[in-house]
Structures are given as structure tokens and as C-alpha cells.
Structure 1
């Protein structure tokens, strides 16, 4: 039973980390798009950015989506195992 609780906790923690990373990547992409749009409207030269590039943020977004899906699968598997254990004991 302890392993199932641990699988739930790990899955939920992993999903939360992935969700936070997706949010951060999305914010970075939106900031970069807004900055780029403002620079084009004002016809100013492109300034150097201190954060991750748009490409890096898009890659992070995709990889964290996969990470979140994998963690949800581990939670689902733990849930199914718990259901099986309950069925066996009843």
C-alpha cells in the first residue's frame, strides 16, 4: 500500500512541476511576442534579451507537456492498482 501512495505523490508532484514549467514557458513566449510586436511598431532595433529565446521556450513547452502526460499516466496506473487491490481484499 505504501508504494501506491508514493506513486500518487510522485505523479502529482511531477505533474505540478510540469504545469509550473508550462506556465513559465507560456509567460516567456507571450512576453517575447509582445516585445517583438512593440519593437516592430516603434521600428526600434532588437534589444538583447536576458531570458530564454522564443525557440527555447517553445521546446520547453513541448517537453513539459510530455512530462505532464507521463506523470498523469503514473497517477492513473497507481489508481488502477489501488482499485485492483481493493477488489482483491473485498
Structure 2
């Protein structure tokens, strides 16, 4: 196994996780701001999770995306740690 590819895979996985968490955070913030804006209007209160516009996620979807990001980040970090340990072992053997 190429150690560099293990490092790269771990870093790419971690970056994808960070991007997913950032996207989910923006969606949650946007939903909160929409709720605050709707509460100040005289419109009847509607559960925003029941209706999803095209391209928009519900709060539940965003929370699931946050959890997926956490798990993906852990997997990336574990991959990086494993590659680091493998490299350290190889260096110890060669020295």
C-alpha cells in the first residue's frame, strides 16, 4: 500500500466532511432565520419541516448531514493516523 495515498485519502475524506458540515450549518442557520422572520409576520404558524422546496433540506436532513460529517471526519482522521503509524514503523525498521 502506498502511504502517500492513505494520507491523501484521509485528507480528502476530512475535507469532504468539513464541507458537508459547513453546508449543513448554513442550512440550519437559514432555517432558523426563516422561522424568526415567519414568527414576526401574521401568517399562521406552519412546521417548516413538513414542506421542502426544491434544493432545500429540512432541519432533520441537516442534522443527519452533520452526523454524517462527524463520522466521515473521524474516518479520515483514523486513516491519517494509520498512515502515520505505518510510516513511523517503516522508518523505525529502516533506521
Same fold (TM over 0.5): yes
1:32-79 Cα deviation digits (max 9, x unpaired): 011011101223245754201111000110111111111101101100
Secondary structure in 1 matching 2:39: helix
Unaligned runs of 5+ in 2: none
| 1:78 lines up with 2:77 in the alignment | no
Unaligned runs of 5+ in 1: none
TM norm structure 2: 0.86
Match of 2:60 among 26, 35, 55: 55
Distance of 1:38 and 1:49 partners within structure 2: 17
TM norm structure 1: 0.90
Q: Within 5 Å, which residues of 2 pair with 1:36-51?
A: 36-45=35-44, 46=46, 49-50=52-53, 51=56
Secondary structure in 1 matching 2:57: coil
Over 2 Å off, 4+ runs = 43-50
Higher relative helix content: 1
What do you get for the CA RMSD once the two structures are aligned?
1.5
Q: Aligned pairs, how many? A: 89
